[in-house]
Chain A
Amino acid sequence: MMDLTVIWAFIIAFAVFAYVVMDGFDLGIGILFPTFDVGRERDRAMNSIAPVWDGNETWLVLGGGGLFAAFPLAYAVILPATYPLIIAMLLGLVFRGVAFEYRWRDPGHRRLWDAAFTGGSLVAAMAQGMTLGALLQGIEVVDRAYAGSWFDWLTPYTLLCGLGVVAGYALLGSTWLIWKLDGPGQAHARKLALRSALATIVLMGAISLYNVFLNAEYAERWLTAPEIYLAAPVPILTAIIALSMIQAIRKARNSKPFWLSIALFFFGMAGLGVTMWPYVVPPGVTIWDAAAPERSQIFMLIGVAITLPLIIAYTAWAYWVFRGKVADEGYH
């Protein structure tokens, strides 16, 4: 079963995961931004992500571009099916992205751009979660095209998924700030992290339960033998991680809460994989149905094999350059 299409499914999954955790903490800081004091606390929160947000967002282009390249049919079906969500996400990211620069250029309207930063982050996160929900609940496809109606993407389930992603990003953002800030800023981040952690865990649980009722096939996958032996470790490990994360936040650990919140997302993604496999657009389109021809897969695989290690290496270097607590002075 380990053919090129499967390899590509894992590469796309990796890109989506990298995006979700890396831009997740940026967007999370945006979502939590209004709770920070105007002035130094906000500036430092912003400066902790200013050098890296652009690289983080590039994973979204790889996720989308990679889907286009490796599974063109999925790209051509999912995006029209969730059209208003995608447009909202893109516009949200416009506001969020320019706010990084604009707020420093215009102190007179800094609050306005701070609000744009928060609004953009919130809309983007919510839209991403709802898109995921719309995908999981199934998309109607006839003759290689989206065949559903205009508001299929708007259901209680997709709203729940949207909130789940908002809470999860807030968790990533607040644990990142625990790591990057000190003093009162860090204490504030810790408080936020605890609340976001609880919200994330509750919503993750609710979405998982909902999944089981959503679709008989999903239920079978999670609740009957022999699949259950494969699937069961995922929720168990997720629970263990969630508990140790709350411990780490309470014990005022520095970077551990952040790494554990990434682990939480990892198992969330794994659970998603178990739920969806082998469909890329449930309920009808498998990864093989949507896959690009072998020539495209091989050509791109060569590129990925060469560039992805390099990308990871220089991205890691860029993070290393800006390691440690955010300095008070700001960058020059």
Chain B
Amino acid sequence: MFEQFDALLLARIQFAFTVSFHFFFPAFTIGLASFLMVLEGLWLKTGKQLYLELFKYWVKIFAIVFAMGVVSGIVMSYQFGTNWAVFSDVAGPVIGPLMAYEVLTAFFLEAGFLGVMLFGMNKVGKKLHFFATCMVALGTFVSAFWILSVNSWMQTPTGFEMAANGQILPGESWWDIVFNPSFPYRLVHTVLAAYLTTAFVVGGVGAWHLLKDRANLHARKMFSMAMWMAAIVTPLQIYAGDLHGLNTLEHQPQKVMAMEGHFQSHPDGAPLILFGIPDSEEKTVKYAIQIPKASSLILKHDLDAPLAGLDTIPDDEEPPVGMVFWSFRIMVGLGFAMLGIGLWSLYARWRKRLYDLPLLHKAAVVMGPSGFVAVLAGWITTEVGRQPYVVYGLLRTADAASPLDAPAVAGSLLAFIVVYFAVFGIGIWYILRLMSHTPHVGELGAKRGDTGPIRTAGITPGPTQNPSHDEPLPTEKEGE
């Protein structure tokens, strides 16, 4: 019995570890692919080399992030079977087809066009290359569509039937499964989060180079584009997050109770607990700093609306409160910090000092990785908040694992931890190194083969270079 529990806990840690690590990469590539598409589109439209140079600067980073996303993603696609065999068998008839659609409509699209996007500029011509970039960007979005549909269905399952052998089967309409109640909210919230994550990375890199040289045109353009995103998308994201929260209140009330730290019911207006230390044993939030009735105002738009607490939920149906409570606050706090940066940049832009405020640039550098932290905190909120279920209300996490012994899972978990920290740690180091290079005129793309002879020798980056040098060569259309 104890041994079984151990293996379960290890399997949960392994899934949480591998999926958290994995999600950093798509959270970045979804936004970065769209950013690259915009840069290349602007280059084609305006003909300005600056946009092409920015494209080449970021496409090198994209290539590394994408590779890390691919290899860590393949791990995920097999981990359902290796570690969650009962879940795979029981929920496979519903979830499997959605994931198959993800592979068919998204992964192949991304991977099929990625080679042309990275290495094909001189082979296919500008327009076709732009098309490839668009397809990669589209692929990242379509992938988000399907995987968030799967996740949302696990949170708010609809459109299913139960079979006699315990399997969950699809009902009459796949529409009800794909567009389950929480899906539209989760999709919008997650995709906006990916855009913001990228915007703050780009803004942070731009700000870093502005701090070194505020006249650098490439850094200015990056920073300016990123700050527009921060100013426009952050308010939208806060609004989308609010709607998502209301949807969660409707379909997974105990998750919201944990987020709010509401151990008790409040029949006439619930307080908004800003900070405090939730104590699940004593069912109370210690040292709470709270605004009376504000939670009812946010969640019900009525100061005196009653809100049920975890006291209405059986103990074995409650999620762990502390983790959900804290991760939610980290996400929201970072969201408002992002809003602050966005508003600050608007003010600086209005005063025509966007490139002349080192304090803003320093703040933007500090906030560079904030999107990753916020995204991770948000996922912890929603995933821990639906415990103890893996398919909400239908299949408990404890009943979903593979029949593996603890040592087997411990061994694989250890291997994942060592390999991921080493391999992806080094990858992140390479990315930081690329980011520390000052973007410049004559930026090179994803260069391969510096040992090759000599046709590359003319392209030495530097200010003396003819600015039109980076123009792709006229397309060779052999065999046509």
Cβ of A4 to closest chain B Cβ, rounded Å:
13
Complex CA–CA separation, A292 to B67 (angstroms):
32
CB contact between B81 and one of A60, A78, A84, A91 (< 8 Å): that residue: A78
- Beyond the given A83-B412, A106-B430, please list 9 additional residue pairs across the A-B interface where CB-CB is below 8 A: A50-B448, A62-B103, A79-B81, A87-B415, A293-B167, A315-B112, A322-B123, A329-B455, A330-B450
Q: Which residues of A contact B (CB under 8 A)?
A: 39-40, 43-44, 46-47, 50-52, 54-55, 57-58, 60-62, 64-66, 68-70, 72-73, 75-80, 83-84, 86-87, 90-91, 93-95, 97-98, 100-102, 104-107, 144-147, 150, 292-293, 295-296, 299-300, 303-304, 307-308, 311, 314-315, 318, 321-322, 324, 328-332
Say yes or no: B92 contacts A76, CB within 8 Å: yes
Say yes or no: B402 contacts A318, CB within 8 Å: no
Say yes or no: B115 contacts A55, CB within 8 Å: yes
Complex CA–CA separation, A60 to B71 (angstroms):
11
Nearest opposing residue in chain B for A326, CB measure: B449
* Number of B positions contacting A (CB below 8 A): 89
Is B86 part of the contact surface with A, judged by Cβ < 8 Å?
A: yes
Complex CA–CA separation, A157 to B442 (angstroms):
57
CB contact between A79 and one of B70, B82, B163 (< 8 Å): that residue: B82
Given the interface pairs A62-B100, A86-B82, the reply to whether A54 lies near B70 with Cβ below 8 Å is: yes
Nearest opposing residue in chain B for A306, CB measure: B104
List residues of chain B with CB within 8 A of the CB of A304.
Answer: 104
What are 19 A-B contacts defined by CB distance under 8 Å? A39-B451, A43-B448, A50-B119, A52-B115, A54-B110, A62-B107, A65-B102, A80-B82, A83-B408, A86-B82, A91-B416, A93-B74, A98-B71, A144-B89, A300-B100, A307-B105, A328-B453, A329-B453, A332-B119
Say yes or no: A66 contacts B100, CB within 8 Å: yes
Cβ of A92 to closest chain B Cβ, rounded Å:
10
List residues of chain A with CB within 8 A of the CB of B101.
Answer: 300, 303
Say yes or no: B450 contacts A95, CB within 8 Å: no
In the complex, identify which listed stretch (B219-227, B257-265, B337-345, B419-427) lies at the interface while the others stay far away. B419-427
Say yes or no: B119 contacts A331, CB within 8 Å: yes
Say yes or no: B169 contacts A105, CB within 8 Å: no
Is B120 part of the contact surface with A, judged by Cβ < 8 Å?
A: yes
Say yes or no: B423 contacts A94, CB within 8 Å: yes
Say yes or no: B415 contacts A332, CB within 8 Å: no
List residues of chain A with CB within 8 A of the CB of B427.
Answer: 98, 101-102
Say yes or no: B81 contacts A58, CB within 8 Å: no
Say yes or no: B97 contacts A300, CB within 8 Å: yes
Say yes or no: B96 contacts A292, CB within 8 Å: yes
Complex CA–CA separation, A301 to B404 (angstroms):
33
Closest CB pairs A-B (n = 8):
A330-B449, A72-B92, A51-B115, A69-B96, A79-B81, A331-B119, A97-B71, A76-B89
Q: Which of B89, B412, B450, B459 has the largest count of A CB atoms less than 10 A from its CB? A: B89
List residues of chain A with CB within 8 A of the CB of B112.
Answer: 55, 311, 314-315, 318
Q: Which of A72, A95, A295, A322 has the largest count of B CB atoms less than 10 A from its CB? A: A72
Given the interface pairs A50-B119, A321-B123, the reply to whether A293 lies near B70 with Cβ below 8 Å is: no
Q: Which residues of B contact A (CB under 8 A)?
A: 63-64, 66-68, 70-75, 77-78, 80-83, 85-86, 88-89, 92-97, 99-105, 107-116, 118-124, 163, 165, 167, 169-171, 174, 402-405, 408, 411-412, 415-416, 419-420, 423, 426-427, 430, 433-434, 444-453, 455-456, 459, 478
Say yes or no: A51 contacts B71, CB within 8 Å: no
Say yes or no: A296 contacts B81, CB within 8 Å: no
Say yes or no: B116 contacts A292, CB within 8 Å: no
Task: Describe B's contact surface by its main secondary structure.
Answer: helix
Nearest opposing residue in chain A for B56, CB measure: A332
List residues of chain A with CB within 8 A of the CB of B77.
Answer: 61, 64-65, 68
Complex CA–CA separation, A55 to B136 (angstroms):
12
Say yes or no: A68 contacts B88, CB within 8 Å: yes
Given the interface pairs A58-B107, A66-B100, A68-B80, the reply to whether A83 lies near B404 with Cβ below 8 Å is: yes
List residues of chain A with CB within 8 A of the CB of B404.
Answer: 80, 83
List residues of chain A with CB within 8 A of the CB of B88.
Answer: 68, 72, 75-76, 79
List residues of chain A with CB within 8 A of the CB of B114.
Answer: 51, 54-55
CB contact between A299 and one of B85, B92, B174 (< 8 Å): that residue: B174
Complex CA–CA separation, A72 to B72 (angstroms):
22
Complex CA–CA separation, A264 to B170 (angstroms):
40
Given the interface pairs A76-B92, A101-B64, the reply to whether A146 lies near B74 with Cβ below 8 Å is: no
List residues of chain A with CB within 8 A of the CB of B74.
Answer: 57, 60-61, 90, 93
Say yes or no: A293 contacts B93, CB within 8 Å: yes
List residues of chain A with CB within 8 A of the CB of B110.
Answer: 54
Complex CA–CA separation, A106 to B434 (angstroms):
11
List residues of chain A with CB within 8 A of the CB of B420.
Answer: 94
Given the interface pairs A55-B111, A72-B92, A94-B423, the reply to whether A79 lies near B97 with Cβ below 8 Å is: no
Say yes or no: B97 contacts A93, CB within 8 Å: no
Say yes or no: A330 contacts B80, CB within 8 Å: no
List residues of chain B with CB within 8 A of the CB of A73.
Answer: 89, 92
Given the interface pairs A43-B452, A104-B448, the reply to whether A51 lies near B119 with Cβ below 8 Å is: yes
Complex CA–CA separation, A145 to B167 (angstroms):
13
Say yes or no: B96 contacts A296, CB within 8 Å: yes
Say yes or no: B119 contacts A44, CB within 8 Å: no
Say yes or no: B71 contacts A94, CB within 8 Å: yes
CB contact between B92 and one of A102, A145, A292 (< 8 Å): that residue: A292
Given the interface pairs A68-B81, A321-B124, A329-B455, the reply to whether A80 lies near B403 with Cβ below 8 Å is: yes
Say yes or no: A321 contacts B103, CB within 8 Å: no
CB contact between B405 and one of A60, A76, A150, A303 (< 8 Å): that residue: A150
Cβ of B276 to closest chain A Cβ, rounded Å:
41
Say yes or no: A296 contacts B78, CB within 8 Å: no
List residues of chain A with CB within 8 A of the CB of B408.
Answer: 83-84, 150
CB contact between B67 and one of A65, A75, A100 (< 8 Å): that residue: A100
Complex CA–CA separation, A44 to B450 (angstroms):
11
Say yes or no: B120 contacts A322, CB within 8 Å: yes
Q: Which of A51, A62, A150, A308 has the largest count of B CB atoms less than 10 A from its CB? A: A51
Given the interface pairs A95-B423, A98-B71, A296-B170, the reply to whether A332 lies near B108 with Cβ below 8 Å is: no
Say yes or no: B104 contacts A303, CB within 8 Å: yes
Complex CA–CA separation, A329 to B449 (angstroms):
7
Complex CA–CA separation, A47 to B115 (angstroms):
11
Say yes or no: A98 contacts B67, CB within 8 Å: yes
List residues of chain A with CB within 8 A of the CB of B445.
Answer: 332
Cβ of B411 to closest chain A Cβ, rounded Å:
8
Say yes or no: A331 contacts B446, CB within 8 Å: yes
Complex CA–CA separation, A69 to B174 (angstroms):
14
List residues of chain A with CB within 8 A of the CB of B116.
Answer: 51, 318, 321
Say yes or no: B103 contacts A58, CB within 8 Å: yes
Cβ of B443 to closest chain A Cβ, rounded Å:
11
List residues of chain B with CB within 8 A of the CB of A318.
Answer: 112-113, 115-116
Complex CA–CA separation, A75 to B97 (angstroms):
13
List residues of chain B with CB within 8 A of the CB of A98.
Answer: 67-68, 71, 423, 427
Complex CA–CA separation, A293 to B164 (angstroms):
13
Say yes or no: A72 contacts B89, CB within 8 Å: yes
Given the interface pairs A43-B452, A97-B70, the reply to whether A295 lies near B108 with Cβ below 8 Å is: no
Complex CA–CA separation, A324 to B459 (angstroms):
24
Given the interface pairs A68-B96, A90-B74, A94-B419, the reply to whether A105 lies near B452 with Cβ below 8 Å is: no
